[in-house]
């Protein structure tokens, strides 16, 4: 029995080194494949270095060329703005007056608005005077030598009211408001 135990131990010992050899043999090809990959990586780095060198040479060539001088764009005349919000007039009625004064010289617009019978003429007249004052005080321009570049009338919030009617009914009354914006620009000589 002792001989049998020795024989089995000898066989196991003989098998272990063989197994280790096999595992080393299996690992060796894997290491070779990794070393091949590692060998390929520096080549790829060399290519990127070459590409980087080409890019640098192109960039240096671009830097050496003199910059082209672009002509300066003409300076736009300044726009002087003023706005009146929540004006208690319907936008549809205010647009009739705004369309009349759009593009006019400020003096002729003031004359037209001063004698207009429409109710929207008064707030628009005040707004144009305010824009002219902005031109004088904020932009150092002459207020009387301006023209109305743009005037817009946008709708503001509507105040909803109700009127009592016959037989216990109520009908709505919409009190509309406007946001008016004016932009003035100097008159070209």
CA distances from 71 to 21, 68, 74, 75 (A): 80, 10, 9, 12
pLDDT digits (tens, 9 = 90+) for 153-180: 999 999 999 999 999 999 999 999 999 9
Q: Say what the pLDDT of residue 12 is.
A: 59
Asked whether residue 115 carries a pLDDT value surpassing 80, the answer given is yes
User: Three-state DSSP class for 47?
Assistant: helix
* CA–CA distance, 182 with 150 (Å, rounded to integer): 6
Which has the minimum average pLDDT: 8-17, 20-29, 108-117?
20-29
- CA 91, CA 99: separation in Å to the nearest integer? 12
pTM given for the model: 0.60
CB 94 within 8 A of CB 120: yes
Is-contact 182 81, C-beta < 8 A?
yes
In sequence order, the β-bridge partners of residue 165 are none
* pLDDT tens per residue, range 50-104: 566 665 655 555 555 666 667 777 777 889 999 999 999 999 999 999 999 999 9
For residue 174, the cross-strand partners are: 160
- Whose tokens are 């010289």? That residue is 105
Grouping H, G, I as helix, E, B as strand and the rest as coil, residue 185 is strand
Walk me through the domains of the chain, giving residue ranges and CATH numbers.
80-186 (3.90.470.10)
| Token pair recorded at residue 26 | 């299996």
Beta strands, E only, the chain: 80-87, 146-155, 159-164, 170-175, 178-186
**DSSP class of residue 83?**
E
- DSSP strands (E only) in 103-177: 146-155, 159-164, 170-175
């Amino acid at each position: 029995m002792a001989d049998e135990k020795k024989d089995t131990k000898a066989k196991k010992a003989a098998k272990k080194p063989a197994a280790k050899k096999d595992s080393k043999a299996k690992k060796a090809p894997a290491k070779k494949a990794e070393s091949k990959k590692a060998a390929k990586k520096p080549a790829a780095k060399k290519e990127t270095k070459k590409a980087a060198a080409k890019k640098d040479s192109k960039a240096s060539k671009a830097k050496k060329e003199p910059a082209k001088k672009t002509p300066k764009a003409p300076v736009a005349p300044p726009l002087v703005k003023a706005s009146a919000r929540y004006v208690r007039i319907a936008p549809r009625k205010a647009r009739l007056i705004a369309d009349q004064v759009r593009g006019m010289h400020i003096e002729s617009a003031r004359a037209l608005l001063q004698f207009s019978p429409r109710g929207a003429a008064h707030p628009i007249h005040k707004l144009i005077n305010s824009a002219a004052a902005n031109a004088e005080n904020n932009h150092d321009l002459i207020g009387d030598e301006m023209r109305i570049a743009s005037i817009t009338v946008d709708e503001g919030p509507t105040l909803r009211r109700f009127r009592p009617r016959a037989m216990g009914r109520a009908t709505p009354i919409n009190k509309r408001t406007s946001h008016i914006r004016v932009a003035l620009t100097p008159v070209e000589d």
